[in-house]
Chains A and B, each alone.
Chain A
Amino acid sequence: GAGVSQSPSNKVTEKGKDVELRCDPISGHTALYWYRQRLGQGLEFLIYFQGNSAPDKSGLPSDRFSAERTGESVSTLTIQRTQQEDSAVYLCASSLGTDRTYEQYFGPGTRLTVT
């Protein structure tokens, strides 16, 4: 079984453009999380999905950020009208569920650079 995959691995975009980041979770994992990690900083929670429940969007920093997930499969994180402060590594993680005992498996991340 493959791990969590993310694409692209690197993305350079101009300020003001929209970007879409993709995450493929481990098969069978019902929970999916997105985090942002600025250079040398910790992990900032953005959003999580659990099955067909309404996603927890409490970490999204602005309405320029949105995410979707189809069932228990791929998820996309969209950033509209990118700003330079959006430059960071965006990490996706999946877990078997959201039970407190489940560990999270992280993907390699997408490094976003906004010029």
Chain B
Amino acid sequence: GQQVMQIPQYQHVQEGEDFTTYCNSSTTLSNIQWYKQRPGGHPVFLIQLVKSGEVKKQKRLTFQFGEAKKNSSLHITATQTTDVGTYFCAGRTGTASKLTFGTGTRLQVTL
């Protein structure tokens, strides 16, 4: 079955440093979504990428979808303590309705 892996599993940065999480799928994806889960909270949708090579930005967050549509990345510039949480990618294959969530990357930011 489809597998979606994320690296790293955990990253601890100081406020102001940059952060990147990588998402890799075993199969080609029709689209990819990113979610953020704060500690003790539930996942919240951040963004969706559909096109090969697509890049989208949300303030300090930059999302990229690979050319082969099998990988994606989320880059945060100049992290803040409010960025703390676990970031999940989630992808669909073909016309499938089911989202397969990645393993997640937990980000810790300290002053």
Interface centre among A98, A103, A109 (most CB of B within 10 A): A103
Distance to closest chain B CB from A37 (angstroms): 9
In the bound complex, how far is the Cα of B98 from the Cα of A104, in angstroms?
11
Chain B residues with Cβ below 8 Å from A41 are: 104
Distance to closest chain B CB from A79 (angstroms): 20
Chain A residues with Cβ below 8 Å from B79 are: none
Q: A43 to B101, Cβ gap below 8 A?
A: yes
Q: A104 to B99, Cβ gap below 8 A?
A: yes
In the bound complex, how far is the Cα of B30 from the Cα of A35, in angstroms?
21
Q: A31 to B97, Cβ gap below 8 A?
A: yes
Chain B: interface residue total (CB-CB under 8 A): 23
Q: B45 to A104, Cβ gap below 8 A?
A: yes
Distance to closest chain A CB from B69 (angstroms): 12
Knowing A91-B43, A103-B48 touch, does A48 contact B97 (C-beta < 8 A)? yes
Chain A residues with Cβ below 8 Å from B43 are: 43, 91, 93, 104, 106
Report which A residues bind B (CB closer than 8 A).
Answer: 31, 33, 35, 41-43, 45, 48, 50, 56, 58-59, 91, 93, 98, 100-101, 103-109
